[in-house]
């Protein structure tokens, strides 16, 4: 079974919608998504994610499930370097690289900087529970950092696909949990362009066990093929598809 995480299209944050380019990106994305055999779709309640998902799911005639735990992790903290409030990542290298707990995939949320916003830890737990509840319905049950599986239930599920339309921060929170990597490391070290596609596949190498493995992270070939430039939203350097 594969899980696909998609970041929303280029946002207009002030108007809680997409930019003109963002709407183009969402329509281009739909040409890619409609080629997939999707079993279920889950969407963040934030409008930029809903609008990104709409062209794809309308064409597929799929009714999405709106899940609050997939909304962006925009729980503000005060940056220890600049003294300014912002999302609970995008820290300066001189700070986060010296904080061992931020590298801990199980307990990163216990770092003092993240505990400074009391909403952050409950959001992490809600996302973990949300993902695990979905996966349990397909025969995957969390056991430590991997999944115990119901072998008969997951038999022949290699083409089963679940899609999540979310955000840069929230998608990395989910992927970090599934891959056993601190989301803070992913958020600091990997860029997801608007409409970027990330694919995780559950590998079942031994009976009764499965582990998620990334096949693609941040792919934007649908934009490249359509001649649509990649948006820089969320990056601190120039982004170019090469």
Out of 3-7, 64-68, 81-85, 163-167, least confident range:
81-85
Q: Kindly tell me if the per-residue pLDDT of 2 is higher than 70.
A: yes
pLDDT of residue 187: 97
Q: Kindly tell me if the per-residue pLDDT of 241 is higher than 80.
A: no
pLDDT of residue 242: 66
User: What is the Cα–Cα distance from 89 to 75, expressed in whole angstroms?
Assistant: 10
User: What is the Cα–Cα distance from 57 to 42, expressed in whole angstroms?
Assistant: 10
Q: Are 88 and 76 in contact (CB under 8 A)?
A: yes
SS (H, E, C) 104-153: CCCCHHHCHHHHCCCCHHHHHHHHHHHHHHHHHHCCEEEECCEEEECHHH
Residue 116 burial class via C-beta count within 10 angstroms: exposed 0-12, middle 13-18, buried 19 and up: middle
As a whole number, mean pLDDT of residues 193-207 equals: 97
Architecture of domain 14-164+174-198: 3-Layer(aba) Sandwich (3.40)
For residue range 61-70, what is the model confidence (pLDDT) as tens digits?
Answer: 999 999 999 9
For residue range 115-142, what is the model confidence (pLDDT) as tens digits?
Answer: 999 999 999 999 999 999 999 999 999 9
User: What is the Cα–Cα distance from 111 to 95, expressed in whole angstroms?
Assistant: 12
Residue 205 tokens read as 């190498």
Q: How do the domains of the chain map onto residue ranges?
A: 14-164+174-198
- Using the structure block, give the residue that is written with the tokens 């066990």: 209
Q: Are 195 and 9 in contact (CB under 8 A)?
A: yes
pLDDT of residue 75: 95
- Distances in Å between the Cα of 8 and the Cα atoms of 138, 152, 223 are 26, 35, 13
For residue range 95-104, what is the model confidence (pLDDT) as tens digits?
Answer: 999 999 999 9
User: What is the Cα–Cα distance from 202 to 217, expressed in whole angstroms?
Assistant: 15
pLDDT above 70: percentage of residues in the chain: 100
Name the band, by pLDDT with cuts 50, 70 and 90, for residue 84. Answer: very high
pLDDT of residue 240: 80
Q: Kindly tell me if the per-residue pLDDT of 53 is higher than 90.
A: yes
- Give 153-158 contacts, CB < 8 A, sequence gap 24+: 154/1, 154/202, 154/204, 154/210, 157/1, 158/1
Average model confidence (pLDDT) across the chain: 96
As a whole number, mean pLDDT of residues 190-213 equals: 97
As a whole number, mean pLDDT of residues 14-21 equals: 96
Residue 128: other Cβ atoms inside 10 A: 16
pLDDT of residue 239: 87
Q: What angle do CA 119, 121, 126 make, to 5 degrees?
A: 95
As a whole number, mean pLDDT of residues 51-68 equals: 97
């Amino acid at each position: 079974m594969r899980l696909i995480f998609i970041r929303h299209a280029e946002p207009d944050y002030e108007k809680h919608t997409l930019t003109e380019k963002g709407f183009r990106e969402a329509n281009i994305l739909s040409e890619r998504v409609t080629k997939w055999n999707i079993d279920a779709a889950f969407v963040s309640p934030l409008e930029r994610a809903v609008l990104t998902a709409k062209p794809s799911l309308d064409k597929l005639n799929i009714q999405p499930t709106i899940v609050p735990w997939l909304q962006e992790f925009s729980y503000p903290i005060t940056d220890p370097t600049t003294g300014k409030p912002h999302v609970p990542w995008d820290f300066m290298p001189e700070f986060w690289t010296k904080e061992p707990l931020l590298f801990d995939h199980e307990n990163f949320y216990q770092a003092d900087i993240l505990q400074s916003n009391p909403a952050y830890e409950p959001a992490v737990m809600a996302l973990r529970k949300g993902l695990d509840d979905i996966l349990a319905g397909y025969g995957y049950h969390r056991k430590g950092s991997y999944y115990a599986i119901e072998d008969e239930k997951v038999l022949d599920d290699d083409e089963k696909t679940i899609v999540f339309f979310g955000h840069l921060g929230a998608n990395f929170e989910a992927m970090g949990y599934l891959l056993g990597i601190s989301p803070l490391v992913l958020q600091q070290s990997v860029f997801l362009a608007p409409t970027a596609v990330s694919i995780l596949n559950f590998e079942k190498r031994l009976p009764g066990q499965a582990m998620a493995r990334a096949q693609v992270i941040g792919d934007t070939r649908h934009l490249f093929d359509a001649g649509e430039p990649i948006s820089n939203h969320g990056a601190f350097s120039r982004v170019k598809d090469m």
